[in-house]
Amino acid sequence: MNCIRTILIVFAGFTFLLFPLTIHAQTTEATTAESGVKYPQFQFRGLFQGRFLAAMTDNVDVLGVQHTTGEVTQTSFDIKRMRVGLTTKISPETEVVILVNLADFKSDTKGKVLENAYAKYTFNKYAALVGGQFRAPFGIEDQVSVDIIKSFDFSNQYYEFGKNGWTSFQIGASVLGSVDIGKVPANYAFTIVNGNGKNQEKDKDNGKQYFSRWVFGLSKKNNINLGLNGGTGRVSTQEVFAIGADITSNFKLADKLHLELQAEYKQGTNHNLYFSLPVEGRTASVADYQMRGFYFLPNLRYSIAYNRLSSIEVSCRYETFNSSYKINSNVRQTYTPMISLEFGKAYTGRIELGFTLDNYEKDIPDTSVYSSNLFLIQLQCRL
């Protein structure tokens, strides 16, 4: 019965959202034929991210794991990402996207390597349908690629909510578009996913996760946008949820000087943690295991345009995250100061230098749940 209910919900929801738009979509084929534009069109993309890591805390390795005995690797070169992507535009409305990360071959590839694998059909600016494996829209970080963010990597909350099916790459379908609410422009997305991550043979159960994201443009001058997220679902007969709010802005301080600000809060059920515990070691309700986090990321950008050097950026993200604040609470605070040199346009080349400073409320020996400091130099090239 749960399976039938899910099918009916998905069918009814997408039909309700898309049926009024199909009439408009049917008028575009003739225009395409008359324009003389040839399809398919191909766009190749690539990204290389290489790093040098140096652990600065005794008995903690470059992966953040503390060792009470044995040799500890405290310096290492690393290939973080080697992405290759292809976007194929089949028609003005239809595109197919594939993205792989070849750097994932350095370890167990289960649930890795293939990142994007989806098709998108755009009816008009008000609605588009996406299906396949894609980054589920549930926050700021799902809207931008990792190669143009203002820090070394995504936040801790992003990865933890990804493990719980709300962010990062998920398998499912989404309806998204733009509308005007009075004089306020807004972007929206309604999404349904399996919730068990990427590259999975099938869903782990019959439950699905449903969520929505809305972004409201509050100020065009300072590019102030307010984002609201909310979702619910069922995992192994247990009800789960997630909520979030975020705000971004960009203030022009001088002709070549900009201050960009990001802040984001999320809270939700940590069912990934709950089901990883033995039955005798957890409570009867998954609602007892909730995570929450907040980060603030200011970025000061100075445009130079001197030879190949385009800009210098200075940022410092502060984040607090608790993977289970109701039971066995252990707050993690992370500071990530960084200096970035941009070469070419749109981060074609980038050199980043800085630190990741992790502080746990309670350290656990011989695990990665241990306070530590890490120095990083990251080189990035993108196509």
The residue segments making up the domain with residue 327 are: 2-382
At residue 346, does pLDDT exceed 90? no
Work out the pLDDT band at 28, boundaries 50, 70, 90.
very low
pLDDT of amino acid 52: 98
At residue 202, does pLDDT exceed 70? yes
17-31, 145-159, 233-247, 357-371: range with lowest mean pLDDT: 17-31
Work out the pLDDT band at 29, boundaries 50, 70, 90.
very low
pLDDT of amino acid 20: 44
Q: Which residues pair with 53 in a beta bridge?
A: 76, 376
At residue 4, does pLDDT exceed 80? no
- For 144, the token pair is 């931008």
Give mean pLDDT, residues 344-356.
Answer: 94
At residue 381, does pLDDT exceed 90? yes
Each residue's pLDDT tens digit, 296-331: 999 999 999 888 899 999 999 999 999 999 999 999
Nearest partner of 356 among 154, 168, 161, judged by Cα: 154
At residue 350, does pLDDT exceed 90? yes
Work out the pLDDT band at 22, boundaries 50, 70, 90.
very low
In Å, the largest CA–CA distance within the chain is 72
Give mean pLDDT, residues 374-380.
Answer: 97
Work out the pLDDT band at 9, boundaries 50, 70, 90.
low
Q: How many domains does the chain have?
A: 1
At residue 155, does pLDDT exceed 80? yes
Give mean pLDDT, residues 357-380.
Answer: 97
Phi, psi of 75 (to 5 degrees): -135, 140
At residue 206, does pLDDT exceed 50? yes
Q: Which residues pair with 333 in a beta bridge?
A: 320, 359
Work out the pLDDT band at 172, boundaries 50, 70, 90.
very high
Whichever domain contains 210, its CATH number is: 2.40.160.10
